């Protein structure tokens, strides 16, 4: 199990259905599901990225409920899952936070439903991640990460291939599958 993996769920800048760049809404279920998935695979930190103050407050309240509110007593495994979840204003803030913690900037990894010439496969990525350096997996909500984030990333993972090129996985499911491929114990 790797502890050098960090994960960001980005709500801005992402595309909407029509190709416009928007701020997508935080889905509280994403926060819960992805926190539990990250805890399962030993991810060091899960960052919910949104510039909207009201949405940041929503995530903070959710985390507070399960960490110190009634939720902590009602469901301690949920508390455990949320211990490493936090909200950040921007992807830049996430990178700075990791740099402060680890003493170096993380290498960034993105995925996209489209194929890119520089796509890296899962086995190769897993091997690369055997190094001590921190890695940041970046996932977009809505209709995907804004183009510049993809272009500036250190690595672009191959898409998850479905039957007949179908690729409309929920982001929650894509994260589970990708972490399992990159950090899972398979036996």
Residues that bind its own copies (CB under 8 A): 1, 29, 32-33, 36-37, 39-42, 77-78, 80-81, 121-123, 158, 160-163, 166-170, 172-174, 176-177, 180-181, 184-187
Contact 182, 126 (CB under 8 A): yes
Which CB atom, from 105 or from 126, has the smaller least distance to its own copies? 126
Nearest approach, Cβ of residue 168 and its own copies (Å): 5
Q: Is 118 exposed, middle or buried (0-12, 13-18, 19+ CB in 10 A)?
A: exposed
**Residues 113, 144: Cα–Cα separation, whole Å:** 8
In SS3 terms, 95-122 reads as: HHHHHHHHCCCCEEEEECCCCCCCEECH
Which CB atom, from 90 or from 177, has the smaller least distance to its own copies? 177
Contact 85, 30 (CB under 8 A): no
Rounded to a whole number of angstroms, the CA Rg of the chain reads 16
Nearest approach, Cβ of residue 181 and its own copies (Å): 7
**Residues 145, 130: Cα–Cα separation, whole Å:** 26
Nearest approach, Cβ of residue 66 and its own copies (Å): 13
Chain-centroid distance of CA 62 in Å reads 18
Name 6's bridge partners.
45, 136
Nearest approach, Cβ of residue 8 and its own copies (Å): 18
Which CB atom, from 41 or from 95, has the smaller least distance to its own copies? 41
Which CB atom, from 21 or from 173, has the smaller least distance to its own copies? 173
Which CB atom, from 90 or from 167, has the smaller least distance to its own copies? 167
Which CB atom, from 60 or from 123, has the smaller least distance to its own copies? 123
Tokens found for residue 125: 């990525």
Nearest approach, Cβ of residue 13 and its own copies (Å): 22
Nearest approach, Cβ of residue 28 and its own copies (Å): 11
């Amino acid at each position: 199990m790797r502890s050098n993996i960090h994960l960001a769920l980005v709500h801005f800048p992402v595309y909407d259905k029509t190709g416009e760049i928007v701020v997508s809404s935080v889905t509280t279920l994403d926060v819960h599901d992805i926190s539990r998935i990250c805890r399962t695979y030993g991810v060091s930190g899960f960052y919910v990225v949104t510039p909207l103050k009201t949405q940041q407050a929503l995530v903070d309240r959710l985390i507070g409920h399960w960490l110190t509110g009634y939720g902590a007593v009602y469901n301690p495994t949920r508390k455990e899952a949320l211990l490493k979840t936090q909200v950040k204003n921007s992807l830049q803030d996430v990178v700075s936070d990791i740099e402060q913690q680890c003493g170096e900037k993380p290498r960034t990894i993105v995925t996209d439903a489209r194929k890119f010439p520089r796509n890296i496969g899962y086995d190769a990525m897993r091997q690369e991640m055997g190094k001590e350096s921190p890695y940041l997996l970046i996932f977009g909500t809505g209709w995907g990460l804004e183009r510049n984030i993809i272009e500036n990333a250190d690595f672009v993972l191959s898409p998850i291939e479905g039957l007949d090129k179908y690729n409309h996985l929920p982001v929650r499911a894509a994260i589970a599958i990708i972490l399992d491929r990159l950090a899972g114990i398979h036996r």
